[in-house]
Amino acid sequence: MSVLETLRRTGTLDDEGARLLYECVAAVARAGNFPPPPEFGAWTPDAVRAVAHDLFASHRGPQRISQLALASVDDASFVRQLQTMVRNHLRDEARRTVVGRQVLRIKEVLADVSEDVIAVVSTAAPARGTASGPG
């Protein structure tokens, strides 16, 4: 029985599903350059397990399980859905950090700034062959 079939029948991930979840968390965390949880200094196996468990142990856990079961049509789509879910969870967690909050604030401020207000600060000559430089 596949991980998806097990999830649909039991509403839980079996050992194979847990292994897949851990692999997914590790891969998405490293590929997306997400910071590890604050209590871990790096993406250790314990950090990966902690994030994986948080993903489904939170108040949104049952909703996430249902979404995986309903939105997946086969094993490949299950993996894609799981990767997206992990990526979104890690983004949410990153936004809660000091740096994450600063990035959000900078984006808010820049969204409110008119392009007319932004000035070019460089005094260097335009690169050769650009629209404003000699051709």
What is the C-alpha separation between 92 and 90, in angstroms, rounded?
5
**pTM for the structure as a whole:** 0.71
Residue ranges of the domains in the chain?
3-112
Rg (alpha carbons) of the chain, rounded to whole number: 21
Per-residue pLDDT tens digits for 40-80? 989 999 999 999 999 999 888 899 999 999 999 999 999 99
What is the C-alpha separation between 132 and 30, in angstroms, rounded?
40
Cα angle at 54 between 44 and 78, to 5 degrees?
A: 90
Higher model confidence: residue 94 or residue 53?
A: 53
Helix or strand or coil: residue 57? helix
Q: Which pLDDT value is given to residue 125?
A: 61
Region 128-134: mean pLDDT is 57
Region 83-96: mean pLDDT is 89
